[in-house]
Amino acid sequence: MKQNSVTTGAPCWVELGTSDPAAAQSFYSELFAWRAETDVRPEAGGYTQMFLGDAPAAAVTPIYAPKQPIAWTVSFAVADNDATVAKIKAAGGSALMEPADVFDLGRFAVVADPSGAVFTLWQARAFQGAGVFNEPGALGWVELLTRDAPGAAAFYPAVFGWSVTASEQYTQWGLNGADFGGMLVMDDRFPPQVPPHWLPYFSVADVDGTVARATALGADVLMPATDVPDGPRIAVLRDAQGAAFGVYLAAAEG
């Protein structure tokens, strides 16, 4: 991710909704050297920020809704949540949760693109989002996995103003000349029941070592450590509760 700070229209935060928050906190703390701080207010619902050093890096939460999947969710920074939700609906997307204030921290919404890939919107007030990007243990890339690449390539630029840089192998998203994510077309390797989704990648100093450590901690390997042509070394893992995430070599930009 070439974005090194929170930028309007780009990824600003990631949250893991999981069936076992305590186990997830332990796993990711061991894997990425994160430190957990849980909001003890009852109305916060067990929301836990994970810190890399002194910088907020991600969050771990309980499952809040009956049909909520165990998954990482990517959040994008917006200047006006309500106006962005209106643009999403006009472009064929939907709002799963209309914009709402979160204490004095910001304004939040849960939305989906026309194919059903879920993501969230964050209009910052007291809380800006991640305080670190690209460093080992921090968010490094986001990837949309979809079965409708043309639809996605029309939807996201219409909503966020993203640039689209496409090659035969891969499509990348960017803002102001800085790429922060990409798009992978879901083919026959993906079972039909796997929905379109956003996948976060975290930077690591050693991809192979991280994969070995993750499996020792109970994770499964969905894609082994691989060198991407003209790109970084990456791997995709699934934690013990079932949430998928990627890792890639720090300082190697896609």
CATH number at residue 31: 3.10.180.10
* Model pLDDT for residues 88-127, shown as the tens digit of each residue: 999 999 999 999 999 999 999 999 999 999 999 999 999 9
Q: Are residues 92 and 172 in the same domain?
A: no
pLDDT of residue 254: 44
Q: How would you label 72-102 residue by residue, b for 16+ Cβ within 10 Å and e otherwise?
A: bbbbbbbeebeebbeebeebebeeeeebeeb
Q: Let me know if residue 129 belongs to a domain.
A: no
pLDDT of residue 5: 80
Q: Are residues 106 and 184 in the same domain?
A: no
Q: Are residues 143 and 113 in the same domain?
A: no
* Total domains present in the chain: 2
**Cα–Cα nearest to 68, from 14, 19, 24:** 19
Q: Let me know if residue 100 belongs to a domain.
A: yes
Long-range contacts of 209-218 (CB under 8 A, 24+ apart): 210/31, 210/235, 210/247, 211/235, 211/237, 211/247, 213/30, 213/31, 214/31, 214/239, 217/27, 217/30, 217/31, 218/27
Q: Let me know if residue 156 belongs to a domain.
A: yes
Q: Are residues 160 and 92 in the same domain?
A: no
Q: Let me know if residue 181 belongs to a domain.
A: yes
- Mean pLDDT for 182-198 is 94
- Distance from C-alpha of 194 to C-alpha of 125, rounded to nearest angstrom: 35
Q: Are residues 70 and 153 in the same domain?
A: no
Q: Let me know if residue 132 belongs to a domain.
A: no
Q: How would you label 144-175 residue by residue, b for 16+ Cβ within 10 Å and e otherwise?
A: bbbbbbebbbebbeebbebeeeeeeebbbbbb
Q: Are residues 113 and 154 in the same domain?
A: no
**Cα–Cα nearest to 248, from 218, 220, 223:** 223
Q: Are residues 53 and 151 in the same domain?
A: no
Which residues span the domain enclosing 208?
A: 139-249
Q: Let me know if residue 133 belongs to a domain.
A: no
Terminal alpha carbon distance of the chain: 7
